[in-house]
Protein backbone atom coordinates (compact mmCIF):
# COMPACT_ATOMS: atom_id res chain seq x y z
CA UNK A 1 0.00 0.00 0.00
CA UNK A 2 1.22 3.52 -0.84
CA UNK A 3 2.15 5.97 1.96
CA UNK A 4 1.37 9.59 1.10
CA UNK A 5 3.23 12.30 3.02
CA UNK A 6 0.85 15.18 3.79
CA UNK A 7 2.38 18.66 3.85
CA UNK A 8 1.08 22.03 4.89
CA UNK A 9 2.71 25.40 4.35
CA UNK A 10 4.27 26.69 6.39
CA UNK A 11 5.19 23.41 8.04
CA UNK A 12 6.69 24.04 11.48
CA UNK A 13 7.35 20.29 11.91
CA UNK A 14 9.62 19.94 8.87
CA UNK A 15 12.85 20.69 10.83
CA UNK A 16 11.98 17.81 13.17
CA UNK A 17 11.66 15.29 10.30
CA UNK A 18 7.95 14.68 11.00
CA UNK A 19 5.03 14.41 8.64
CA UNK A 20 2.02 16.57 9.48
CA UNK A 21 0.07 13.50 8.47
CA UNK A 22 0.46 10.27 6.53
CA UNK A 23 -2.32 8.87 4.39
CA UNK A 24 -2.52 5.13 3.79
CA UNK A 25 -5.44 4.23 1.54
CA UNK A 26 -8.56 5.67 3.13
CA UNK A 27 -6.96 6.28 6.54
CA UNK A 28 -5.21 9.47 7.61
CA UNK A 29 -2.84 9.49 10.59
CA UNK A 30 -2.31 13.05 11.86
CA UNK A 31 0.72 13.93 13.99
CA UNK A 32 0.15 15.76 17.25
CA UNK A 33 -1.07 19.28 16.63
CA UNK A 34 -0.22 21.89 19.26
CA UNK A 35 -1.27 25.51 19.62
CA UNK A 36 1.36 26.96 17.29
CA UNK A 37 0.79 29.86 14.94
CA UNK A 38 2.02 30.35 11.38
CA UNK A 39 5.51 31.17 12.64
CA UNK A 40 5.76 27.86 14.49
CA UNK A 41 5.69 29.50 17.93
CA UNK A 42 3.08 28.70 20.59
CA UNK A 43 0.34 31.35 20.29
CA UNK A 44 0.28 32.26 23.99
CA UNK A 45 2.38 30.35 26.50
CA UNK A 46 0.05 31.31 29.38
CA UNK A 47 -3.40 30.94 27.77
CA UNK A 48 -4.70 27.38 27.54
CA UNK A 49 -7.92 28.40 25.74
CA UNK A 50 -6.03 30.15 22.92
CA UNK A 51 -3.64 27.23 22.58
CA UNK A 52 -6.45 24.69 22.55
CA UNK A 53 -8.45 26.59 19.92
CA UNK A 54 -5.33 26.91 17.77
CA UNK A 55 -4.52 23.21 18.19
CA UNK A 56 -8.01 22.30 16.92
CA UNK A 57 -7.59 24.72 13.97
CA UNK A 58 -4.22 23.13 13.20
CA UNK A 59 -5.81 19.69 13.38
CA UNK A 60 -8.49 20.80 10.91
CA UNK A 61 -5.82 22.20 8.60
CA UNK A 62 -3.87 18.91 8.59
CA UNK A 63 -7.08 16.93 8.05
CA UNK A 64 -8.06 19.16 5.12
CA UNK A 65 -4.62 18.72 3.55
CA UNK A 66 -5.05 14.96 3.77
CA UNK A 67 -8.53 14.90 2.22
CA UNK A 68 -10.44 14.55 5.48
CA UNK A 69 -12.27 16.66 8.06
CA UNK A 70 -13.17 16.82 11.74
CA UNK A 71 -16.40 14.96 10.89
CA UNK A 72 -14.35 11.99 9.68
CA UNK A 73 -12.13 11.64 12.77
CA UNK A 74 -12.52 8.20 14.33
CA UNK A 75 -9.90 8.45 17.12
CA UNK A 76 -8.12 11.28 18.90
CA UNK A 77 -5.51 11.31 21.61
CA UNK A 78 -5.28 14.57 23.53
CA UNK A 79 -2.19 15.26 25.60
CA UNK A 80 -2.50 17.85 28.38
CA UNK A 81 0.15 19.18 30.73
CA UNK A 82 -2.58 19.53 33.38
CA UNK A 83 -5.82 17.59 33.87
CA UNK A 84 -7.23 20.80 35.36
CA UNK A 85 -8.13 21.56 31.71
CA UNK A 86 -10.23 18.39 31.32
CA UNK A 87 -13.62 20.19 31.65
CA UNK A 88 -12.56 22.63 28.93
CA UNK A 89 -11.58 19.73 26.66
CA UNK A 90 -15.08 18.27 27.03
CA UNK A 91 -16.52 21.63 25.89
CA UNK A 92 -14.10 21.82 22.96
CA UNK A 93 -14.96 18.27 21.86
CA UNK A 94 -18.61 19.34 21.76
CA UNK A 95 -17.65 22.44 19.73
CA UNK A 96 -15.37 20.76 17.17
CA UNK A 97 -16.81 17.24 16.86
CA UNK A 98 -20.33 15.98 16.20
CA UNK A 99 -22.04 12.70 17.04
CA UNK A 100 -20.98 10.03 16.72
CA UNK A 101 -18.05 11.48 18.65
CA UNK A 102 -14.64 9.97 17.94
CA UNK A 103 -13.04 7.51 20.31
CA UNK A 104 -10.76 9.48 22.61
CA UNK A 105 -7.91 9.11 25.03
CA UNK A 106 -6.92 12.06 27.20
CA UNK A 107 -3.54 11.83 28.88
CA UNK A 108 -1.73 14.13 31.28
CA UNK A 109 1.97 14.41 30.48
CA UNK A 110 4.80 16.14 32.28
CA UNK A 111 5.83 18.11 29.20
CA UNK A 112 5.33 18.39 25.45
CA UNK A 113 7.83 19.20 22.70
CA UNK A 114 8.33 22.75 24.00
CA UNK A 115 7.83 23.97 27.57
CA UNK A 116 5.25 26.54 26.40
CA UNK A 117 2.89 23.95 24.90
CA UNK A 118 -0.03 22.90 27.11
CA UNK A 119 -1.96 20.72 24.63
CA UNK A 120 -1.32 18.46 21.67
CA UNK A 121 -3.91 16.52 19.64
CA UNK A 122 -3.25 13.57 17.33
CA UNK A 123 -5.91 11.89 15.24
CA UNK A 124 -6.84 9.03 12.97
CA UNK A 125 -9.49 9.83 10.36
CA UNK A 126 -11.19 8.46 7.29
CA UNK A 127 -10.05 10.18 4.12
CA UNK A 128 -11.26 10.48 0.58
CA UNK A 129 -14.93 9.76 1.17
CA UNK A 130 -17.88 11.01 3.14
CA UNK A 131 -18.36 10.15 6.80
CA UNK A 132 -20.86 7.37 7.34
How does pLDDT run across 58-70, given as a tens digit for each residue?
999 999 999 999 9
pLDDT at 129 (0 to 100): 60
Q: Please say if the pLDDT value at position 44 is more than 50.
A: yes
C-alpha closest to that of 125 among 24, 23, 25, 27: 27
* CB count in 10 Å sphere of residue 102: 17
Question: Please, which residues bridge with residue 46 across strands?
Answer: none
Assigned architecture for domain 3-126: 2-Layer Sandwich (3.30)
Q: Please say if the pLDDT value at position 4 is more than 60.
A: yes
Extents of the domains making up the chain: 3-126
Amino acid sequence: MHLQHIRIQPDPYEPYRLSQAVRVGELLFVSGQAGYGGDGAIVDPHDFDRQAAQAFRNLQRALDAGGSSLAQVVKVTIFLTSMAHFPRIVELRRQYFTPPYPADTIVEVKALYTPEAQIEIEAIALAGGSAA
